[in-house]
Amino acid sequence: MFESLLNELQDYINPMQVNGHVMAVLDCLSCFANNALASNYKKPTLTTDNILDVKDSRHPVIESTCPLAKAILPTIFI
């Protein structure tokens, strides 16, 4: 009985897996967006220059585990 059910569903397994993957990606991106709004993160500006210029950078894990880290905002220019 189980094998006949698997045979019947064979055509639907791959599309269901693809849909599951798409839903997982959307869920992840939605969580990223929600956290960005809640923590007031800023959107990066992308250019074609080979320059990395980060001002007042923040790290979400460090901020959540070390309250003093909110006072430290490193700047990077490469």
How far is residue 36 from each of residues 12, 21, 40, 43, measured CA to CA in Å?
Answer: 36, 23, 6, 9
- Indicate the pTM of the whole model: 0.62
Asked if residues 36 and 53 have their Cβ atoms less than 8 Å apart, the reply is no
pLDDT value at position 51?
86
The CA angle 11-14-16, to the nearest 5 degrees, is 100
pLDDT value at position 61?
81
Q: Each residue's pLDDT tens digit in the chain (78 positions)?
A: 899 988 899 999 999 999 999 999 999 999 999 999 998 888 888 888 888 888 877 777 887 787 776 666 667 776
pLDDT value at position 72?
65
pLDDT value at position 60?
79
